[in-house]
Amino acid sequence: MRKHFASLALATCTLLAAGTAAANESPQAALDALNARLAKIGAAKVEGTDKVGDKTVPALFFGARKINNNYDVVDEIKKSTGATATVFVRDGEDFTRVSTNVLTPEGKRGVGTQLARNKAYESVSKGQKFCGQVEILGSPYDTCYDPIKDAGGKVIGVAYVGYKK
């Protein structure tokens, strides 16, 4: 009887853990967490320029905190949700990664790289959120992208989260 109870308890714990892991891998929930952390810092704005990777791009701020080359928020999202997270700044017609926990094949943060011209790009360029599967560095991800707007409603960046499939 004890053996049966122990097996049942183990199976229940395993199922609960699997359900929790699946719930934790919701791109929408991770995006909500990223947006909440950014909003808590302050309003989004672009001010001046900054070098990220090998590019000079607009400097993206939330409140007084510059997001370019600052990884606290994206690393918190990775730790709390397991999601990859990126903040892009709009640079002309492109969106450039200024803060990310997404690594290049060389194992470095992918700052200075651009959002691919895909379905997500089309949506955020129009000021609309996109959630769906996107290929990133050759691998499929379940993702959500949300435009970041300034006080005037202009799209100045993008918040991204994703889970590798």
Strands of the sheet with 65-66, listed across from one edge:
44-52, 55-62, 65-66
Distance between CA atoms of residues 32 and 80, nearest Å: 12
pLDDT, tens digit, for every residue of 2-61?
443 333 333 333 333 333 333 458 999 999 999 999 999 999 999 999 999 999 999 999
Read off the pLDDT of each residue in 81-103 and give the average, rounded to a whole number.
96
Domains in the chain: boundaries:
26-164
- Classified as helix, coil or strand, 119 is helix
CATH code, 26-164 = 3.30.450.20
pTM: 0.84
Helix (H) or strand (E) holding 65: strand 65-66
Q: Percentage of the chain with pLDDT > 90?
A: 77
Q: Return the pLDDT at 24.
A: 54
Which residue, chain included where needed, has tokens 């791109």?
27
